[in-house]
């Protein structure tokens, strides 16, 4: 009997409103409530609710042969509570069946795992507390934001008490090996790893409705045949997907909901496969090899690395400015500051600043509120400036923690660019002598060389 | 054969560059100008000074053609670029001139002034005759006329020679005057484009205006974006800035369509929060006094400077001193100045209502009226180091990739398509 591990990511960030530099210091509410509410309600009705119904149907029909896994971010939970409580009710019904595993992750879909171990830990603790509270479920398996993984992250996760982790079956990790086995981390062998089969997963999430795909239309029969054709020695197929695939990235009219119902049905009826949770998988199977990952990977883009969030200078500056106040925030009891500290860590903000696809002019992310990455950066930095001012004020009034340098220093060089880090300017001497009809006399004003104002 | 009028910097500059590029693609160019000043660079471009051209006015062909040209009445027009006070003066002079007009136009030689003035329409009409005359006496394959001043000449040349006509729209009457456009100029533009075999516009923005406002067949309108000259030497222009503050610059004509008011309002917003900035408005124009008064009213005169008209090296020096360059144009057919700024390693904020916005990525683009966004962009570029650096490095790279040779190649392609018909 072979296993499919079916896992769905559920996340919505709190998107920022247009926040100008003159709001800094005066306006402390950063979120676009209208957009966030509109989007959540739309995805709820197009996506989460109908997809949950399909899964419930499968559970009711096939019982223990059909298990499914979710990772729901703390931000998503908050947005559901605020704007679409029926979604929470729907997930609770799923939880009650006992056929659903909820994973642990960072509360606000944060990338703290990459640079801030204590904040990473705090985020995970806050998240599992929320899962426990809402669903009565204690997570034992872990997945990081955007499946970001590295040896270092593996170590931190293991230390937090999790023995199982999900990540991407990236080529950098696997080389010639197949993702269809259980693995463990090379430096931390007690941590078991489930690696996403991106080929089979992306067939559903990306290619399902692409009419120029050689395999279009993808029927349940065809897909199940592919699974059946997987080498019988390979016991495990990990299908990890963004839950918005069902109804949003793949609209209902593509037949995606029918597919979601049909392919598990066919697979189960074949008698050769069952659907399992990560917890069950790690009990049943043995790791066949260890995986070494010195540099962080993710499930994003062709590169499967972290350049989508931290690949350019804008992202670096924003990211490092944010985490400067991590120490202060660790013990901060102000609820609003705490809320903002969570929301501002969402990886989405950095994603919007990505300049990788400039030449295509393609806006890569759904629901990206910004026209260009530069607008995204400026908006975020303005918000961050205000946030850092408030944090520093809090620090001065409450703890002995040292306030950090926040306001970007305005550099005032006396002589020009040659002396600063900014690149030297090359000359702009015109070759053509442009002739102009009038020759108005230049007004005698301050900027001419040598004159003082 | 290219027909142009080098009245203002930009059309002349871009023409010159395109011509150089055309030469690289093996296209020979004969350049007709109303008035040669004598110091134009004559590298492999044959310049024909229209003032030297003799028109045989008694030739029946010309008489016949002349009768077909609509002669413009000057008194009822608003002359472009002339302010109301000057216009008043002209109207009073006009009555005396009318009598002499016909004979002046029909003299054998005509001294073109190369300026805008009360005899402008007269010059345009005369230029048409010159164009026809040159066309009758030269060998060429294509006529290429630039902007409305030369369209009549281009059409005349086409009629005489039967060769195809390409007209080039660098700026439309709407770009110059907004909704207060001059009907006569509009008609000349339209007629020129209708008669032409192809219309080249410098941006999609302008192309859309040509299609929507002039009702020209989209099939024959082609966009060829302008470019900018790459820096010649890696000389460090060490402009010493004798003020400690950052400098934010506006450089261009101080007139309606360049959006100077928006620059001032944005400056005011920035200065409310950050006094470590100085704003500079470099140029002159009909709105200059109004802008000076507005600045005073807003009480920001201590941080806002007017330099007057800058040319030559002073322009380069201005760019070298600037920390941010802003082009808030209400309607800009293309806009080469941001490219010059980027080439001088200055980060740039431009209005979305400009042709150049179509070809640039590493700039902040804002709607010209969105003063909040403009101020925000200026502030961000002054305060957040990473975006400042990114614009400087990527901006220079981006500009270096906009080559006149590519623009010239596209123009040469248009010539070929017109000859293939």
User: Do B287 and B409 belong together in one domain?
Assistant: no
Q: Reply yes or no on whether the pLDDT at A404 is more than 90.
A: no
- For residues B67 and B374, the model is more confident at B374
Instruction: Give the torsion sign (CA, A110, A114, A115, A120).
Output: positive
User: Any idea which of A47-51, A404-408, B242-246 has the lowest mean pLDDT?
Assistant: A404-408
A167, containing H or E segment: strand A164-168
pLDDT at B41: 55
Residue B26 has pLDDT above 90, yes or no: no
Task: Give A266-289 pLDDT, tens digit per residue.
Answer: 999 999 999 999 999 999 999 999
Q: Model confidence at B11, in pLDDT bands (50, 70, 90)? A: low
Measured between CB atoms, does B312 come within 8 Å of chain A?
yes
Question: How sure is the predictor about B139, in pLDDT bands with cuts at 50, 70 and 90?
Answer: confident
Tell me the mean pLDDT in the region B9-26. Answer: 63
Give A316's contacts in chain B (Cβ within 8 Å).
Answer: 386
End-to-end Cα spacing for chain A:
85
Q: Would you list the DSSP string of A7-26?
A: EEEE----PBPP--GGGTTT
**B205 falls within a domain:** yes
Instruction: Please indicate, yes or no, whether residues B215 and B190 belong to a single structural domain of this protein.
Output: yes
pLDDT in tens, B300-309: 999 999 999 9
Local confidence band at B154 (pLDDT 50, 70, 90 cut-offs): confident
Picking from B173, B220, B219, the residue whose alpha carbon sits closest to that of residue B199 is B220
Q: Distance, in angstroms, between B329 CA and closest chain A CA?
A: 20
A409: nearest CA in chain B?
B383
Among residues of chain B, what percentage have pLDDT more than 90? 43
Domain of B375: which CATH number? 3.40.50.2000
- Which range of A363-372, A401-410, B314-323, B379-388 scores highest in mean pLDDT? It is B379-388
B379 touches chain A (CB under 8 A): yes
Same domain for B374 and B263: yes
Q: With a cut of 50, say whether residue B76 has pLDDT above it.
A: no
Q: Do B385 and A427 touch (CB under 8 A)?
A: no
pLDDT reading at B32 higher than 50: yes
Residues B375 and B396 grouped into a single domain? yes
**In this predicted structure, what is the pLDDT of residue A69?**
97
* Mean pLDDT taken over chain B: 79
Find the mean pLDDT for residues B79-83: 43
**B contacts of A440 (beta carbons < 8 Å):** 284, 308-309
Interchain proximity B276–A382, CB inside 8 Å: no
Q: Which of A310-319, A328-337, B70-79 has the lowest mean pLDDT?
A: B70-79
The predicted structure's pLDDT at residue B98: 41
Same domain, B59 and B100: yes
Q: pTM for this structure?
A: 0.80
What is the pLDDT, as a whole number, of residue A251? 94
The pLDDT, as a whole number, for residue B403 is 84
Q: Which of A426, A444, A445, A450 to mutate to test the interface with B (most CBs of B within 10 A)?
A: A426
| Residue B264 near residue B304, CB atoms below 8 Å | yes
What lies within 8 Å, CB to CB, of A155 at 6+ separation is A187, A188
Classify residue B111: in a domain, yes or no.
yes
Among A304-318, B166-180, B352-366, name the one with the lowest average pLDDT: B166-180
Gap between the Cα atoms of A346 and A324, Å rounded: 16
Residue B100 scores a pLDDT above 60: no
Total domains in chain B come to: 2
**B327 domain residue, yes or no:** yes
B 282-301 near A (Cβ less than 8 A): 284
Architecture of domain A2-291: Alpha-Beta Barrel (3.20)
**Minimal CA separation from A294 to chain B, in Å:** 28
Work out the mean pLDDT of chain A and round it to a whole number: 87
Q: Give me the pLDDT at residue A225, please.
A: 95
Q: Are residues B267 and B337 in the same domain?
A: yes
Greatest mean pLDDT among A298-307, A414-423, B28-37, B127-136? A298-307
The reply to whether B154 and B262 lie within a common domain is no
Q: 3-class SS at A430?
A: coil
A317 touches chain B (CB under 8 A): yes
A425 touches chain B (CB under 8 A): yes
Q: How far apart are CA A271 and CA A318, in angstroms?
A: 52
What is the chain A residue with the closest CA to B243?
Answer: A414
| Residue B186 Cα, gap to closest chain A Cα (Å) | 23
Find the CB nearest B384 among A24, A381, A435.
A381
The verdict on B212 and B294 lying in the same domain is no
* Predicted pLDDT at B94: 47
Domain that holds residue B133: 2-227+405-420
Element spanning A274, H or E: strand A273-275
Sort residue A132 into left (φ over 0), alpha (ψ -120 to 50) or beta. alpha
**Whether B410 contacts chain A with CB within 8 A:** no
Mean pLDDT of A1-18: 95
Domain assignment present for B240: no
Q: Does B320 touch chain A (CB under 8 A)?
A: yes
Q: What are the beta bridge partners of residue B283?
A: B308
pLDDT digits (tens, 9 = 90+) for A208-226: 999 999 999 999 999 999 9
Catalytic residue among A78, A146, A235, A244: A146
Is there a single domain that holds both residue B381 and residue B410?
no
- A89 part of the active site: no
Q: pLDDT-derived band of residue B196, with 50, 70 and 90 as boundaries?
A: very high
Extents of the domains making up chain A? 2-291, 307-398
Integer CA distances (angstroms), A320 to A146, A374, B129, B279, B386, in order: 19, 17, 69, 31, 12
Chain B residue with the nearest C-alpha to that of A444: B307
Nearest to B244 among A316, A412, A450 (CB): A412
Cβ of A362 under 8 Å from any chain B Cβ? no
Question: Angle at which helices A49-62 and A85-96 pack, to 10 degrees?
Answer: 10
Per-residue pLDDT of B160-180, as tens digits, reads 888 899 999 998 988 887 788
What is the pLDDT, as a whole number, of residue B266?
A: 97
- When CB atoms are compared, the residue of B13, B361, B362 closest to A434 is B13
For residues A341 and B151, the model is more confident at A341
Q: Residue B377: its chain A contacts at CB < 8 A?
A: 378
Average pLDDT over residues A71-91: 97
B117 CB near a chain A CB, below 8 Å?
Answer: no
Full DSSP string of A67-78: -EEEEE-HHHHH
Model confidence at B47, in pLDDT bands (50, 70, 90)?
low
CA distance B263 to chain A (A): 17
Give the residue-averaged pLDDT of B97-124.
53
Q: Are residues B175 and B301 in the same domain?
A: no
Report the distance separating Cα A328 and Cα A403, nearest Å. Answer: 8
User: Residues 127 to 186 of A: which have CB under 8 A from any B CB?
Assistant: none
Both B181 and B275 in one domain: the answer is no
Cα gap A297→A304, rounded to integer Å: 6
Model confidence pLDDT, tens digit, residues B393-418: 999 899 988 888 888 889 989 999 98
Contact check, Cβ <8 Å, A427/B316: yes
Residue A438 sits at the chain B interface (C-beta within 8 Å): yes
Residue A5's DSSP bridge partners are A238
Three-state secondary structure of chain B: CEECCCCCHHHHHHHHHHHHHHHHCCCCCEEEECCCCCCCCCCCCEEEEHHHCCCCCCCHHHHHHHHHCCCCCCCCCCCCCCCHHHHHHHHHHHHHHHHHHHHHHCCCCCCCCCCCCCCHHHHHHHHHHHHHHHHHHCCCCCEEEECHHHHHHHHHHHHHHCCCEEEEECCCHHHHHCCCCCHHHHHHHHHHHHHCCEEEECCHHHHHHHHHHHCCCHHHEEECCCCCCCCCCCCECCCCCCCCCEEEEEECCCCHHHCHHHHHHHHHHHHHHCCCEEEEEEECCCCHHHHHHHHHHCCCHHHEEEEECCCCHHHHHHHHHCCEEEECCCCECCCCHHHHHHHCCCCEEEECCEHHHHCCCCCEEECCCCHHHHHHHHHHHHHCHHHHHHHHHHHHHHHHCCCHHHHHHHHHHHHHHHHHC
**Is the model more confident about A28 or about B182?**
A28
B70 assigned to some structural domain: yes
Summarised one tens digit per residue, pLDDT across range A144-188 is: 999 999 999 999 999 999 999 999 999 999 998 999 999 999 999
B412 and B375 inside one domain: no
Interchain CB distance below 8 Å, B393 and A423: yes
Banded pLDDT at B45 (limits 50, 70, 90): low
């Amino acid at each position: 009997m072979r296993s499919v591990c079916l896992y769905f990511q559920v996340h919505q960030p709190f998107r920022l409103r247009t926040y100008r530099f003159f709001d800094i210091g005066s306006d402390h509410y950063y979120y676009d409530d209208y957009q966030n509410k509109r989007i959540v309600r739309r995805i709820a009705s197009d996506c989460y609710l109908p997809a949950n119904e399909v899964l419930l149907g499968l559970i009711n029909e096939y019982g223990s042969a059909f298990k499914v896994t979710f990772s729901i971010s703390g931000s998503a939970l908050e947005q559901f509570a605020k704007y679409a409580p029926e979604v929470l009710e729907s997930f609770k019904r799923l939880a009650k069946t006992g056929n659903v595993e909820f994973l642990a992750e960072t509360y606000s879909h944060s990338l703290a795992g990459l640079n801030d171990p204590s904040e990473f830990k705090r985020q995970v603790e806050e998240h599992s507390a929320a899962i426990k509270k809402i669903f009565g479920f204690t997570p034992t398996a872990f997945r990081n934001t955007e499946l970001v993984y590295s040896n270092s992250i593996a170590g931190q996760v293991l230390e937090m008490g999790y023995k199982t982790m999900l990540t991407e079956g990236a080529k950098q990790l696997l080389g010639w090996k197949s993702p269809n086995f259980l693995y463990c981390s090379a430096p931390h062998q007690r941590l078991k790893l489930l690696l996403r089969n991106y080929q089979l997963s992306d067939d559903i999430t990306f290619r399902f409705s692409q009419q120029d795909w050689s395999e279009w239309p993808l029927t349940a029969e065809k897909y199940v045949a592919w699974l059946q054709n997987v080498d019988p020695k390979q016991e495990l197929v990990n299908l990890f997907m963004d839950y918005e695939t069902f109804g949003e990235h793949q609209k209902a009219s593509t037949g995606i909901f029918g597919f979601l119902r049909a392919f598990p049905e066919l697979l189960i009826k074949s008698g050769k496969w069952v659907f399992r949770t990560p917890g069950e998988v790690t009990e049943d199977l043995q790791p066949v090899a260890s995986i070494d990952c010195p540099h962080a990977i993710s499930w994003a883009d062709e590169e499967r690395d972290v350049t989508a969030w931290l690949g350019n200078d804008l992202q670096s500056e924003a990211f490092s400015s944010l985490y400067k106040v991590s120490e202060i925030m660790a013990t901060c009891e102000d609820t609003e500051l705490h809320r903002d500290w969570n929301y501002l860590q969402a990886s989405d903000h950095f994603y919007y600043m990505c300049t990788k696809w400039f030449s295509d002019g393609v806006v890569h992310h759904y629901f990206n509120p910004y026209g260009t990455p530069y607008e995204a950066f400026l908006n975020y930095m303005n918000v961050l400036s205000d946030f850092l001012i408030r944090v520093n004020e809090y620090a001065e009034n409450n703890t002995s923690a040292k306030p950090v340098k926040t306001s970007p220093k305005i550099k005032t060089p006396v002589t020009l660019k040659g002396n600063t880090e900014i690149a030297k300017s090359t000359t702009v001497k015109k070759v053509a002598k442009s002739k102009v009809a009038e020759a108005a006399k230049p007004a005698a004003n301050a900027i001419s060389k040598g004159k003082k104002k | 054969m290219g027909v142009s009028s080098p009245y203002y910097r930009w059309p002349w500059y871009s023409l010159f560059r395109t011509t150089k590029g055309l030469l690289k693609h093996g296209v020979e160019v004969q350049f007709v100008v109303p008035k040669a000043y004598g110091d134009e660079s004559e590298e492999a471009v044959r310049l024909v000074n229209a003032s030297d051209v003799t028109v045989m006015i008694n030739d029946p062909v010309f008489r016949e053609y002349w009768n077909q040209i609509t002669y413009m009445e000057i008194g009822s027009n608003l002359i472009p670029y002339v302010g109301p006070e000057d216009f008043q003066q002209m109207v009073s002079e006009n009555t005396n001139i009318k009598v002499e007009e016909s004979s002046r136009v029909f003299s054998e030689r005509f001294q073109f002034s190369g300026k805008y003035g009360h005899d402008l329409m007269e010059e345009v009409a005369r230029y048409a005759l010159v164009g026809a005359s040159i066309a009758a006496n030269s060998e060429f394959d294509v006529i290429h006329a630039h902007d409305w001043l030369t369209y009549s000449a281009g059409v005349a040349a086409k009629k005489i020679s039967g060769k195809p006509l390409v007209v080039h729209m660098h700026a439309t009457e709407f770009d110059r005057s907004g909704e207060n456009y001059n009907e006569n100029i509009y008609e000349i533009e339209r007629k020129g484009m209708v008669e032409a075999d192809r219309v080249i516009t410098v941006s999609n923005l302008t192309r859309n205006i040509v299609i929507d406002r002039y009702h020209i067949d989209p099939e024959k309108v082609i966009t060829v974006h302008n470019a900018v000259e790459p820096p010649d030497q890696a000389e460090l222009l060490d402009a010493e800035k004798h003020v400690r503050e950052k400098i934010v610059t506006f450089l261009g004509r101080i007139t309606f369509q360049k959006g100077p008011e928006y620059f001032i309002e944005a400056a005011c917003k920035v200065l409310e929060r950050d006094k470590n900035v100085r704003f500079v408005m470099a140029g002159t124009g009909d709105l200059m006094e109004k802008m000076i008064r507005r600045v005073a009213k807003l009480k920001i005169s201590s941080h806002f400077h007017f330099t007057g008209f800058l040319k030559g090296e002073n322009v380069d020096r201005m760019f070298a001193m600037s920390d941010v360059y802003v082009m808030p144009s209400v309607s800009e057919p293309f806009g080469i100045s941001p490219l010059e700024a980027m080439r001088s390693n200055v980060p740039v904020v431009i209005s979305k209502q400009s042709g150049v916005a179509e070809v640039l990525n590493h700039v902040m683009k804002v709607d010209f009226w969105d003063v909040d966004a403009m101020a925000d962009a200026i502030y961000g570029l002054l305060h957040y180091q990473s975006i400042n650096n990114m614009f400087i490095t990527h901006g220079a790279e981006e500009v270096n990739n906009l080559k006149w040779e590519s623009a010239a190649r596209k123009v040469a392609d248009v010539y070929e398509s017109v000859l293939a018909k």
